[in-house]
C-alpha cells in the first residue's frame, strides 16, 4: 500500500480515534457442544477514508513502538462496553466480551481506573468483560504486572491468556497467576498433524487438571471442530464459525436467530461442565465442583479413551450432548443400533430400562457423588457410572462412563432369567444368580452401596463375609441359617424363601429372598435384596421389640 507508512499512522491516529474510524469488530466465540455464542472477542479495525479497512498487524506494532497503544486499547474497551449495553437494551444480550490488552497498558498509572470507569458508565458487570493478554507481557515488569493483575482479579474480572503455548514462559506463569482461561491458537500449531494434536491434547489435559477453562481460536475446519470437541475443549472461535463482524453485522446475526446466543443462566451451567476432563483416566472422580485442590489425572490419549458421554437430563427426557467413539462402540455392543434408540428406551416410561435409568439419573442429580449401576443387556454385563456436573432450573448435565464385561455362558444364562424379572430387578438393590454346584455366583445388578464379596470357587466363604460385614450383628445368626446352602434345596419347596434382615450400613430392614430358577442341568438360585416401604419397616421394628427372642 503506497503511502501507508508509520508516519501516516502516527499522524492520523488521534484523528481516527476522534472520528470513530477505529472501532472494534466482534468475532463470536462458540460453545463446543451447543454451538451457541458464549462470548465475543473485540478486535480493533481502522477504517481509513483513504486506505480502507486496516488490520491490526499494520498499526498495532507501530502504536506500540510510539507509546500510543494505550489510547487504542482504552478506546476499544469503552466501545466494547457501549456495545454490550446496546445489545442488552435492544434485547439481544451476549454474556461476555473479551478485549485484548498490550503489555504497555500495565505500566499506565490510571489503567485499572479507566477500565472500571468504562464498565461503570455502561453498567457492564466485571464478569462480562474478559481481559486477554499474551504471555510476553509478563516478561517485562513482573512487579507492575502482578499488582495490576491482582487489582483486576480482586474486582471480579477474569484474565485470559491469549495465544497460549506460542511463547516461552507459559507453564511458570500458570502457577503464579490465576488465569481463568487459556486460549490456544491452532495457527500456532501450523499443521494439524498427529503430533500437534497430541500437544494440544496434553495442554488441554493440563489446563483441566488446573481447573482452567480452554478455548481454541483459528478453527477453520469441521475436522478440527470434531477433534477439539472430543478433547473437551470448551469453546471455539474461528473462520469455520464466523469472521470478525462489524457491529451491524453482529446485530443482524443475532436478529436472524436470537436463540444463537447462550442465555445468562446457561453460561454458568456450561462453564461448570467445561471443567470436566475428558482426557483423564478417572474423569468422574477427578471432577471437583469446588475449587479445591485437584489431583492431576494421568493423561490418557483420547483414542484409547474412556467410553464417556454427556447426558442432559430434563424432567421428561434425556439426551446425549456428547458421546465418545468408545462409548458408541459399547452402546452397540449392548444391542442398541444408535444413541437415538438408546434415548428412546430411556425416555420410554414403561420399559425396565427407564426404571433403572431413572433411578441412576435421579440419584446422580441429587447427590454430588458418583453413582453406579451394574446391569446386563444383550448378553453383556455392564457398569454405568454417572456424575452430575452442573444443574440449572429444569435440567442437569451428567457425565456417564460405560464399561462392558463380556462373561461368556453365564452371561447368557443370566440374561434369560433377566427377561422374566427385569421389572422386579429394577426395584431391587442387589440381584445375584447363585450356582451352588459350581460354587460360584454372579452379580447381575447392584446399587452402589452394596460391595461385592463374591470370589470364584468360594461361595460359602462369600456368604460368610457378606454376613459379617453387611448384616446387623443381632440378625447374623438368623442370616446364616437362612443362607445355608446345604439345606437350601429342602427349604425351597415352595419355590422361594424370604426373610427380613437389618443391614449394618443403614440399620434399616431389607427383604432378602432366594428363589429357585428353572434349569435342567444344575441348581440355580436367584438372590435378591430389596428395600421395604416405611410402614413395613416400622412394623418389623415393633415386632422385634415385642419378640426379642425371634432370632
Ligand atoms: P488475537 O487476539 O490472537 O486475535 C486473533 C486473530 O486471529 C485476529 O486477527 C482474528 O481475526 C484472527 N482469526 C480469527 N479466526 C481465525 C481463523 O479461523 N483463521 C485465521 N487465519 N485467522 C483467524 P486480527 O484481528 O488481525 O488481530 C491480530 C492481533 O492483533 C490479535 O491477535 C491481537 O493480538 C491484536 N489486537 C487486535 N485488536 C487489538 C486491540 O484492540 N488491542 C491490542 N492491544 N491488540 C489487539
Ligand atoms: Mg485475542
Ligand atoms: Mg490469539
217-237 tens-digit pLDDT: 999 999 999 999 988 999 999
Instruction: Quickly list DSSP for 163-204.
Output: EETSSS-HHHHHHHS--SEEEEEGGGG-S--HHHHHHHHHHH
Which residues are within 8 A (CB) of 146 and not within 5 positions of it... i.e. 6 or more apart?
176, 177
Atom 45 (ligand 1) nearest CA:
100
Q: CA-CA distance, 244 to 25, in Å (whole number)? A: 6
- Tell me which residues have their CB within 5 A of the ion that is ligand 3: 162-163, 185
Q: Is 131 in the pocket of ligand 1 (CB under 6 A)?
A: no
HSE (CB half, 13 Å, CA atoms) of 510?
A: 22
Reported as a single tens digit per residue, the pLDDT across 157-186 is 999 999 887 766 556 677 778 899 999 988
Cβ(374) – ligand 1 distance below 6 Å: no
Report CA-CA distances (Å) from 253 to 100, 186, 247, 276, 281. Answer: 23, 25, 10, 30, 40
Q: Is the CB of 189 under 6 A from ligand 1?
A: no
* Strand 159-164 with 181-185, pairing: parallel
In whole angstroms, give the CA distance from residue 140 to residue 272.
34
pLDDT of 101-148, one tens digit each?
A: 998 999 899 999 999 999 999 999 999 999 999 876 666 667 888 899
Dist. CA 183 → ligand 2 center (Å): 8
| CB of 215 sitting under 6 A from ligand 1 | no
Q: How far is the CA of 162 from the centre of ligand 3 (A)?
A: 5
Confidence of residue 519 (pLDDT cuts 50, 70, 90): confident
- CB–CB of 236/270 below 8 Å? no
Q: Which atom of ligand 1 is nearest to the CA of 101?
A: 44
For residue 31, the CA-to-ligand 1 centroid distance in Å is 19
Output the pTM of the full model.
0.71
SS3 272: helix
- Which of 146-155, 262-271, 300-309 has the lowest average pLDDT? 300-309
Dihedral of CA atoms 344, 348, 353, 358 in degrees, nearest 10, equals 110
Amino acid at each position: 500500500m503506497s503511502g501507508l507508512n508509520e508516519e501516516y499512522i502516527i499522524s492520523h491516529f488521534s484523528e481516527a480515534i476522534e472520528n470513530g474510524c477505529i472501532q472494534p469488530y466482534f468475532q463470536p466465540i462458540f460453545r463446543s457442544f451447543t454451538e451457541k455464542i458464549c462470548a465475543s472477542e473485540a478486535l480493533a479495525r481502522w477504517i481509513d477514508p483513504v486506505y480502507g479497512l486496516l488490520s491490526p498487524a499494520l498499526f498495532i506494532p507501530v502504536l506500540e513502538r510510539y507509546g500510543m497503544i494505550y489510547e487504542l486499547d482504552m478506546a476499544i474497551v469503552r466501545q466494547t462496553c457501549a456495545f454490550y449495553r446496546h445489545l442488552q437494551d435492544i434485547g439481544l444480550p451476549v454474556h461476555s466480551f473479551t478485549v485484548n490488552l498490550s503489555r504497555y497498558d500495565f505500566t499506565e498509572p490510571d489503567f485499572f481506573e479507566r477500565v472500571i470507569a468504562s464498565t461503570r458508565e455502561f453498567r457492564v458487570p466485571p464478569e462480562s468483560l474478559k481481559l486477554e493478554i499474551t504471555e510476553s507481557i509478563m516478561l517485562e515488569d513482573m512487579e507492575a504486572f502482578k499488582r495490576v493483575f491482582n487489582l483486576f482479579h480482586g474486582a471480579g474480572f477474569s484474565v485470559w491468556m491469549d495465544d497460549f503455548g506460542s511463547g516461552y514462559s507459559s507453564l511458570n506463569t500458570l502457577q503464579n497467576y490465576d488465569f481463568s482461561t487459556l486460549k490456544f491458537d491452532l495457527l500456532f500449531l501450523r499443521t494439524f498433524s498427529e503430533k500437534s494434536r497430541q500437544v494440544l491434547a496434553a495442554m488441554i489435559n493440563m489446563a483441566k487438571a488446573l481447573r482452567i477453562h480452554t478455548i481454541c481460536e483459528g478453527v477453520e475446519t469441521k475436522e478440527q471442530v470434531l477433534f477439539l470437541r472430543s478433547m473437551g475443549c470448551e469453546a471455539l472461535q474461528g473462520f469455520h464459525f464466523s469472521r470478525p463482524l462489524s457491529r451491524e453485522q453482529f446485530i443482524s446475526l443475532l436478529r436472524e436467530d436470537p436463540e444463537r446466543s447462550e442465555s445468562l443462566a446457561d453460561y454458568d451451567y456450561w462453564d461448570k461442565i467445561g471443567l470436566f476432563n475428558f482426557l483423564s483416566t478417572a474423569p468422574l472422580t477427578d471432577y471437583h465442583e469446588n475449587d479445591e485442590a485437584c489431583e492431576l489425572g494421568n493423561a490418557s490419549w483420547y483414542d484409547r479413551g474412556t467410553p464417556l458421554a454427556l447426558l442432559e437430563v430434563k424432567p421428561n427426557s434425556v439426551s446425549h450432548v456428547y458421546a465418545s467413539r468408545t462409548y458408541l462402540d459399547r452402546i452397540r455392543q449392548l444391542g442398541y443400533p444408535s444413541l437415538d434408540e438408546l434415548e428412546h428406551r430411556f425416555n420410554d416410561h414403561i420399559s425396565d430400562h427407564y426404571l433403572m435409568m431413572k433411578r441412576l439419573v435421579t440419584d446422580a442429580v441429587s447427590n454430588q457423588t458418583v453413582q453406579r449401576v451394574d446391569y446386563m443387556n444383550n448378553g453383556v454385563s455392564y457398569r454405568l457410572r454417572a456424575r452430575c456436573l452442573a444443574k440449572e432450573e429444569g435440567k442437569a448435565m451428567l457425565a456417564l462412563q460405560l464399561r462392558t464385561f463380556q462373561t461368556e455362558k453365564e452371561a447368557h444364562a443370566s440374561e434369560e432369567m433377566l427377561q422374566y424379572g427385569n421389572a422386579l430387578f429394577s426395584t431391587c438393590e442387589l440381584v445375584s444368580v447363585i450356582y451352588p454346584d459350581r460354587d460360584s455366583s454372579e452379580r447381575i445388578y447392584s446399587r452402589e452401596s452394596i460391595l461385592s464379596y463374591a470370589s470364584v470357587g468360594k461361595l460359602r466363604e462369600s456368604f460368610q463375609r457378606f454376613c459379617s460385614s453387611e448384616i446387623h450383628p443381632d440378625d447374623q445368626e438368623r442370616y446364616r441359617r437362612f443362607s445355608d446352602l446345604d439345606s437350601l434345596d429342602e427349604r425351597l419347596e415352595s419355590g422361594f424363601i424370604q426373610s427380613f434382615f437389618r443391614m449394618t450400613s443403614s440399620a434399616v430392614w431389607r427383604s432378602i429372598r432366594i428363589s429357585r430358577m428353572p434349569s435342567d442341568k444344575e441348581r440355580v438360585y436367584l438372590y435378591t435384596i430389596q428395600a421395604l416401604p416405611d410402614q413395613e419397616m416400622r412394623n418389623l421394628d415393633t415386632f422385634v421389640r415385642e419378640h426379642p427372642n425371634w432370632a
